[in-house]
Structure 1
């Protein structure tokens, strides 16, 4: 059986002519036969790519050979097949959408929370003067989160700045932030420091690295990832399932995207309901004329769709979270 790697990484480092860089970087990735999704902005890179072991090795060597990205840390997963269908490398204003674009206000290269290695995070997280804060979106922490973590009701990370005022009660405590791979914590912890929180930390490498280096202890459920695996296991010490089927309430770790392309909602659904509803979140979505064929995975190749005003309106509701990247 062929072995492939999936690489998760980010790097906050200034890039001049970032839009041109994105176009050239796409060509480079395609030349290696990689598939995945990379976001390029003036502030840096954010990517998940997948391919053969050799292609991934060559990609990491090329990234590290560029002085701008020499500090990049890759989280490497061995997978049975590539975790994407196509290769995308796009220019955007930020490498993770936060609304905090002004580098004079928030710049992770100048100020951010103290980085904790996974074993350090494990040693600190249960202390009385510590608050463990999940900075991810609802659909992410619904399928997995640290025991006793504080979660926020947000559909997208760009809503995080509005929620900081809800954390005032924790001022004076040590705030340990975490996310999937670490990228959101860089800005979240910087913002907390700016807002007067004095003792702020972040889990270096995020949940993924914590699973690899600390066994994932006390992380309940699965970790949502932004590729066709949808979720991955991280806890090899005391695993449990915390998510339930949206339709029947049965405990299930399975998260899918609705088969209705105009909904495409992230939600948890057991196999029985998946078969009954054909991968849809509701009977209404089952009736959609462009409903995609459900193959049991709930992952679909994205194709361009016409603008749908009803869909845009629905995404304002928390049951229809806007898509984001790690």
Structure 2
């Protein structure tokens, strides 16, 4: 029984190109009590591998969080399989706004302690006492209410390239960092304001809404299905789009264009730009915003030092990397000291 990938990303990309078939990028999550995540993990890998599903899936005792790519002609078989799993029957599937056949190039199903790293002790509050789910129409109505505080539950590098108008965008690196900061900053509004939250697909708000209710916020709402589902509803129902810029996504696409507004800037020259790239120096791999001109000038690197290293023969680069651990420094995003123009989200 195969429980791991036997193809490299490059080999998989070549097969996708050769097949010439359309693929769908999909995400979903579900909080549920899973007694043995390892058994579920193995079952999902075996079944989805046969369906040529690719993606990154986390399974934990508290549920599942999945971002994946499935061949369009296998979608019904994939959906039918989900429906055979009791807690995933009719689960909401967020289908990407912009499709890319190469959004994922490997199938990774991993057992984790949590499906989202929130740093919370779930035994100290009722995680099922969540906020009110609202659709796009109700969301638009709520955020126009002067008694509403709209909060972006994503990280700074996500909101930097796109967010809802008038949203509070915490300057944080991780979801777990945002929770105490938001509670402290908005403490005076616990009794007298509606707290409305949103994130990419809804999963972060699901836990955060219960946490904030536990912390004393009386009127808590969350955008059901997140930005992805919002954009789809706006298009289908002809609603006003209140989101400006791009929606950051955690796959090879890196983002989806929602509106034509460019609200970020190149981290190297400062010109308007909202294209995230990874530094071409594999020992760095920093994610940052880089315009086309700087990409050419810097050879797709974040600094002169990385540019010099990336120009070395491949074997020499490997030698320099040997024994070095690539830490989460790559998630400094636009905070790195090597970048001249740091995060600067203008008021909307």
With the length of structure 2 as denominator, give the TM-score of the two structures. Answer: 0.81
Map of 1:180 onto structure 2? 200
Structure 2 distance, partners of 1:145, 1:256, is 19
Say whether residues 1:84 and 2:104 are aligned partners.
yes
The 1:124–1:261 alpha-carbon spacing in structure 2 relative to 1, beyond 3 Å, is same
Gaps of at least 5 residues in structure 2 are 1-19, 315-320, 337-348
**Correspondent of 2:74 among 24, 42, 55:** 55
Map of 2:141 onto structure 1? 123
Say whether residues 1:202 and 2:222 are aligned partners.
yes
Structure 2 distance, partners of 1:292, 1:98, is 41
Which stretch shows the higher mean deviation, 252-261 or 129-138? 252-261
**Correspondent of 1:143 among 161, 164, 189:** 161
Map of 1:300 onto structure 2? none
Alpha-carbon distance, 1:314 to partner = 7.8
Say whether residues 1:231 and 2:246 are aligned partners.
no
Equivalent position SS for 1:287: helix
Structure 1 distance, partners of 2:295, 2:322, is 27
The 1:144–1:285 alpha-carbon spacing in structure 2 relative to 1, beyond 3 Å, is same
Higher helix share: 2
Map of 2:340 onto structure 1? none
Say whether residues 1:319 and 2:338 are aligned partners.
no
Deviation digits for residues 115-145 of structure 1 (CA, Å, limit 9, x no counterpart): 0111110121111101110010111111111
Map of 1:190 onto structure 2? 210
Larger Rg: 2
Equivalent position SS for 1:5: strand
RMSD: 2.4
| Structure 1 residues 78-117: aligned runs within 5 Å | 79-103=99-123, 105-107=125-127, 110-117=128-135
Alpha-carbon distance, 1:240 to partner = 1.1
With the length of structure 1 as denominator, give the TM-score of the two structures. Answer: 0.86
Say whether residues 1:217 and 2:217 are aligned partners.
no
Alpha-carbon distance, 1:37 to partner = 0.6
Say whether residues 1:267 and 2:291 are aligned partners.
no
Structure 2 distance, partners of 1:255, 1:313, is 16
